[in-house]
Amino acid sequence: MNIPEIHVWDHGIIQVKISMAYPLRWVNSYVLPSSAGISIIDPGPRNRTTEEEWTKVLKHLDFGFHDVNEIFVTHHHPDHFGLAGWFQSQADCHVYMSQRAFDESQYMWGTHSNINNQLMKWLGQHGLPEALSVQIEQHLFGFLPQVTPIPDITTVADGSFLTMGSLSWLAIESGGHAPGHLSLFQQELGLMMCGDAVLPRISPNISLIPGSDPDPLFTFMNSLHHLNTYKVNQAFPGHRDVFINYHERLDELLNHHEERLERIEKLLHPSPQTGYEICESLFGNRLSIHQMRFAMCEVLAHLQELVRRGHARIILSSLDYRIKYTYEE
């Protein structure tokens, strides 16, 4: 295995591309060195490959695990949060994240979590055929090793400042993609550590999940408007490449969701539709179970936003007890 790709940016910011599954292929971790040691933002998912990658990266950069002072986690998804506990066990470092993001990690993977079973039943009610919905449960169990062990965390609140890599960073709550998601803004230089709140080329997944944020698309679009109020010269995303057209990208993402809302609203006109039927109309029926889960939860997030705006209404089909959406005059 080769050493992961590393880019050193101005102000000593080191981008490390940690491997992950197709289609994303890599998650960007950022190493911020100072005379006191290093801080790592979003270490990546845990598996044998990524553990080896980090061992090689630290050696290449001339650091040891004892140099890691803190891990900052933007959000609870396995591809960002996963290795935090492993790093803590190696380096005895702080793990910073928001309380809301940590609560969500426990909701998804804590010892009392029942979300796999819940999500399977819930997607079934939204029309996902049983042959597919039963696969969801197993598919979700597959994430557990990526997020083990769960770290002890130090909570970071929206609006607080952290010093990492000799720079001061403002934590900004930027939810919607994930509850309690935090981005980091360096005001003097106009740098934004986006996490997955703003990505170039790909639209961050927005999922409606039972028991989680009840209006994720609304939260997300509000976050994008809020993130647009910071003057950003260079953006460091959780996936894909570092980019400069940050404000343009925020507009594109907002437009993308408005267009998608319009398209879904039109699909409700001929007759009431389940989330699954909308999903089939938009993406066909050849998605993998992983893609299907994301696609369906994203469609349901859009349908929920249409309901919130008063453009759609939920009805329960008396024939098969499936949840359907109908347009509102």
Site for Zn ion in 25-54 (CB under 5 A): none
Q: How far is the CB of 69 from Zn ion (least distance, A)?
A: 23
Shortest CB 20 distance to Zn ion, Å: 8
- Which of 196/277 has CB closer to Zn ion? 196
Minimum CB distance to Zn ion, residue 311 (Å)? 27
Residue 108 or 268 with smaller CB distance to Zn ion = 108
Q: Which stretch binds Zn ion (CB under 5 A): 120-128, 234-242, 290-298, 309-317?
A: 234-242
**Taking the C-alpha atoms of 212, 213, 214 and 219 in order, what is their torsion angle to the nearest 10 degrees?**
-170
79 binds Zn ion (CB under 5 A): yes
Q: With binding defined as CB under 5 A, does residue 238 bind Zn ion?
A: yes
Closest approach of Zn ion to the CB of residue 83, in Å = 13
Q: Which is nearer to Zn ion, 45 or 127 (CB)?
A: 45
**Which of the residues 169 through 208 are near Zn ion (CB under 5 A)?**
196
In angstroms, the Cα distances linking 207 to 295, 296, 303 are 8, 8, 11
For residues 75 and 324, which CB has a smaller minimum distance to Zn ion in the complex? 75
Q: How many residues bind Zn ion (CB under 5 A)?
A: 4
How many CA atoms lie less than 13 Å away from 25 in the CB half-sphere?
A: 6
Coil, strand, or helix at residue 111? coil
User: Distance of alpha carbon 200 from its chain centroid, rounded?
Assistant: 14
213 touching Zn ion, by CB under 5 A? no
Q: Name the residue with tokens 């003057």.
A: 231
Nearer to Zn ion, 167 or 206 (CB): 206
Amino acid at 166: S
Q: Is the CB of 70 or the CB of 196 nearer to Zn ion?
A: 196
User: Using H for helix, E for strand and C for coil, what is the string for 129-171?
Assistant: CHHHHHHHHHHHHCCHHHHCCCCCCEECCCCCEEEECCEEEEE
Among positions 248-287, residues that touch Zn ion (CB under 5 A) are: none
Backbone angles phi, psi at 237, to 5 degrees: -85, 165
Q: Would you say 124 or 237 has its CB closer to Zn ion?
A: 237
CA 252 → CA 86, 258, 286, distances in Å?
37, 10, 27
The nearest distance, CB 33 to Zn ion, in angstroms, is 23
- The residues that bridge with 170 in the sheet, in sequence order, are 161, 185
Q: What is the largest CA-CA distance in the chain?
A: 67
CA distance 32 to 36: 11
Q: How far is the CB of 202 from Zn ion (least distance, A)?
A: 10
Closest separation in Å from C-beta 148 to Zn ion: 18
CB of 322 to Zn ion, least distance (A): 29
Between 124 and 238, name the residue whose CB sits nearer to Zn ion. Answer: 238
How many contiguous H segments (helices) and E segments (strands) does the chain have?
A: 10, 14
The residues binding Zn ion (CB under 5 A) are 77, 79, 196, 238
